[in-house]
Amino acid sequence: MKRKPRTWGIELTCVGLQFRWTKNGRETLARSCPFPVDLEREPDNKHDENAVKVVIAADYKLKKLRGKHLGYLRRQAAEHMAPRLDAGTLEVVKLWVTDIDPAMGEATIAAKFRDLPAPLKKVSTKAKKKSLDKKRKVG
């Protein structure tokens, strides 16, 4: 019997806005809350191999801000989520920035995720043949 994927919510923190947005820009974004965002993995990030970038979603009302880099998930959260995002066992359902602290350069994100089963590994033809040969020798 297949288990139904579990959907769950969490509040996350996006940090580093002060490096990408002026104080005026952060204040403007704060007045625009809530707004949708997306997550993008950055496994090649030289500072953190678990980096998860937060970008303004493609369906944001202001076209010129769509896809713009907002910041990064706090390291502790990214450390737990990155391996699951990479493995395809965690699906993003919905992400919304609900609050921005312009002075601290941090955003609060209301997030919903869905746990997914691990994808089935594809077995190569060579591996299948090897397995069959092994069975023939045993039997």
In a domain, 99, yes or no: yes
The values of phi and psi at residue 125, to 5°, are -60, -40
Residue 72 lies in a domain: yes
Give me the CATH number covering residue 18: 3.30.70.2330
Does some domain include residue 79?
Answer: yes
Whole-structure pTM value: 0.81
Q: What is the pLDDT of residues 2-29, one digit of tens each?
A: 667 889 999 999 999 999 999 999 999 9
pLDDT of residue 5: 80
**Tens digit of pLDDT for each residue in 41-74?**
999 999 999 999 999 999 998 899 999 999 999 9
Number of structural domains found in the chain: 1
Residue 117 preceded by cis peptide, ω within 30: no
**What is the C-alpha separation between 134 and 129, in angstroms, rounded?**
9
pLDDT tens for each residue of 98-134: 999 999 999 999 999 999 987 766 656 666 556 555 5
Residue for token pair 């997550």: 39
Query: Within a domain: residue 1?
Result: no
In a domain, 71, yes or no: yes
- The amino acid at residue 128 is K
Asked whether residue 25 is assigned to any structural domain, the reply reads yes
- Residue 2 in any domain: the answer is no
Q: How many CB atoms lie within 10 A of CB 96?
A: 15
Q: Is residue 84 part of a domain?
A: yes
Residue numbers of the domain that contains 68: 7-138
Q: State how far the alpha carbon of 96 is from the alpha carbons of 43, 76, 109, in Å.
A: 23, 19, 5
